[in-house]
């Protein structure tokens, strides 16, 4: 399997799962245009780390919910690199609350970043892939989008919508040689977990068959699996990576 000289756009690229995806793609020789929102220091550190031997990673600050920004980024990428082989929609936020206690702003922020951001990049990138008759798209959902979880109304809705969008687009564009899949991670060890009570993490582990949390590297390896041409029979797939989450 070789991905060298391919070009990828990765959103939410500077931290957590996105950082691991960007790292593993660059290690495979992929040119990565990563999108981040606020973590300027983390983005600079990642660029410096990954570009020591060869400049393969460029991180760009912007809002995935801003259609004009997305249009310009996709246009610039094609002009500069001549291709977009992979699109990894990973950017996401959470503003957890029970539905009747949730503010309108928290609802809108999560839907706009998680779902609208994914839709924007798909809408701008897939037409280019259609012209090229090839391409791979991986949209990051969540186990919450598959089964629904208490106090995550907006997050569950956004991640469930991503699954629906993936299924729709994969059916529409498979005949053009484009593979579109989604990964639904469970509880993954990232910086975000530091704000989650230990009891909640233990409860999640208790209701998985593996009795443990996942790692960002495991999610990144799943992305590599889904975008490799050798595994092109993967399409319209919800790839659950949740330790066998039971409820």
Spatial CB neighbours of 97, under 8 Å, sequence gap ≥ 6: 103, 106, 151, 153, 154
Spatial CB neighbours of 73, under 8 Å, sequence gap ≥ 6: 9, 33, 35, 60, 62
What is the torsion angle, in degrees rounded to the nearest 10, for the CA atoms of residue 54, residue 133, residue 185 and residue 192? 50
Q: Give the per-residue pLDDT at 1.
A: 60
The pTM score is 0.94
Active site residues: 155
Least confident window among 44-48, 101-105, 179-183, 231-235: 101-105
**pLDDT tens for each residue of 88-124:** 999 999 887 676 777 999 989 999 999 999 999 999 9
- Selection from 151, 160, 208 nearest residue 184 by Cα: 160
């Amino acid at each position: 399997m070789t991905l060298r000289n391919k070009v990828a756009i990765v959103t939410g690229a500077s931290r957590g799962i996105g950082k691991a995806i960007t790292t593993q793609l660059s290690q495979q020789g992929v040119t990565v245009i990563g999108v981040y929102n606020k973590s300027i220091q983390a983005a600079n550190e990642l660029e410096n780390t990954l570009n020591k031997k060869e400049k393969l990673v460029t991180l760009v600050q912007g809002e995935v919910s801003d259609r004009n920004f997305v249009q310009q980024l996709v246009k610039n990428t094609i002009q500069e690199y001549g291709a977009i082989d992979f699109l990894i929609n990973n950017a996401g936020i959470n503003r957890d609350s029970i539905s009747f206690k949730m503010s309108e702003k928290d609802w809108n922020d999560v839907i706009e970043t998680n779902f609208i951001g994914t839709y924007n990049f798909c809408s701008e990138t897939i037409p280019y892939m259609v012209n090229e008759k090839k391409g791979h798209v991986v949209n990051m959902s969540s186990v919450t989008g598959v089964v629904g979880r208490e106090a995550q109304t907006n997050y569950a809705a956004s991640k469930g919508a991503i699954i629906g969008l993936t299924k729709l687009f994969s059916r529409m564009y498979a005949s053009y040689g484009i593979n579109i899949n989604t990964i639904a991670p469970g509880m993954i060890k990232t910086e975000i977990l530091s704000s989650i009570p230990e009891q909640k993490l233990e409860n999640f582990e208790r209701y998985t068959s593996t009795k443990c949390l996942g790692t960002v590297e495991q999610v990144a390896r799943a992305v590599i699996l889904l975008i490799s041409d050798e595994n092109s029979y993967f399409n319209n797939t919800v790839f659950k990576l949740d330790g066998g989450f039971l409820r």
